[in-house]
């Protein structure tokens, strides 16, 4: 069972997806906002929440096998002003992520963000990882590839310590990068694949809510958290890729 430490945890979609493989266990979260922190306490009552990432003394934190997190995308996303990592006050928190990596030195690092990171800061992330002694590769994975009724593309960077170097690239093993999965995506976009979006289904569409309605406590917070969350089914695939890599090393 590999241990997981989660940064910018939100409601825990990334670590939950990793745990769904049956081979990962979360040992701590790191989230500052009140509502998602309450969700974390509900689902991981035994895990400490480290709170404000800028105030954590990483020298006193247990090192996990996998350090994961999706740092803020407001300064990277097309919906923002494009300030990027260096100038952005929110996305600039990547520096705290990098600090945690340098001190904790986990075996694996999983970083999630919007695809626009490729143009507005991927080079900085890769440079910081390299300086810390990590090799990395990245994949653009969409939720629709797991059957969701929306695209929701996200960039996943998977890094591993050079001391944990391997011979086979994850990219060559990534089923999302081959022709068959690309063909399925094209079929889905043309409407040739039907998705179950009925009420109560796993992929039921979030009900539309134009205004805040009295009598629905925390509904706005819930929708905000869902909008920011990593799709667990996609995170599970990332976990499976790490496990496959571990298996190939053993072989």
Q: What's this model's pTM, rounded to 2 decimal places?
A: 0.79
Q: Does the active-site annotation cover 73? A: yes
Reply yes or no on whether the pLDDT at 221 is more than 90: no
Determine the Cα–Cα distance for residues 10 and 70; give it in Å rounded to an integer: 9
Range of the domain at 57: 2-250
Q: How many domains does the chain have?
A: 1
Of the chain, the end-to-end C-alpha distance in Å amounts to 18
β-strand 153-161 against 2-7: which pairing, if any?
unpaired
pLDDT tens for residues 174-203?
444 443 345 445 545 555 444 444 444 544
**Which residues contact residue 166 at a Cβ distance below 8 angstroms, ignoring those fewer than 6 apart?**
160, 245, 248, 249
Which uninterrupted H or E stretch holds 73? Answer: none
Confidence label for 143 from pLDDT (cuts 50, 70 and 90): confident
Q: What is the pLDDT of residue 180?
A: 38
CB 59 within 8 A of CB 53: no
Closest CA to 50 of 58, 36, 42, 225: 58
Residue of 47, 73, 174, 225 marked active site: 73
Count of Cβ atoms closer than 10 Å to residue 25 Cβ: 16
User: Token match 């001190």: residue?
Assistant: 103
CATH for 198: 3.40.50.150
Closest CA to 250 of 193, 175, 167, 135: 167
The stretch 113-141 carries a mean pLDDT of 92
The two tokens of residue 249 are: 């090393």
């Amino acid at each position: 069972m590999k241990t997981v430490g989660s940064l910018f945890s939100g409601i825990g979609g990334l670590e939950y997806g990793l745990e769904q493989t049956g081979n990962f266990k979360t040992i701590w979260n790191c989230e500052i906002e009140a509502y998602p922190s309450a969700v974390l306490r509900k689902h991981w009552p035994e895990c400490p929440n480290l709170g404000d990432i800028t105030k954590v003394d990483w020298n006193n934190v247990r090192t996990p096998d996998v350090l994961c997190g999706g740092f803020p995308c407001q300064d990277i996303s097309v919906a923002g002003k494009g300030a990027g990592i260096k100038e952005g006050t929110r996305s600039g928190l990547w520096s705290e992520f990098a600090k945690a990596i340098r001190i904790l030195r986990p075996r694996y690092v999983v970083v999630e963000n919007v695809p626009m990171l490729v143009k507005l800061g991927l080079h900085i992330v890769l440079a910081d990882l390299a300086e810390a002694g990590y090799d990395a590769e990245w994949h653009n994975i969409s939720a629709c590839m797991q059957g969701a009724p929306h695209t929701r593309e996200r960039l996943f960077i998977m890094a591993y310590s050079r001391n944990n170097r391997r011979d086979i690239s994850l990219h060559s093993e990534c089923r999302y990068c081959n022709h068959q999965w690309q063909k399925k995506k094209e079929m889905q976009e043309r409407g040739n694949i039907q998705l179950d979006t009925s009420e109560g289904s796993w992929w039921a569409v979030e009900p539309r809510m134009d205004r805040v309605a009295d009598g629905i406590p925390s509904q706005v917070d819930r929708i905000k958290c869902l909008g920011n969350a990593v799709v667990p089914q996609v995170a599970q695939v990332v976990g499976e890729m790490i496990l496959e890599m571990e298996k190939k090393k053993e072989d």
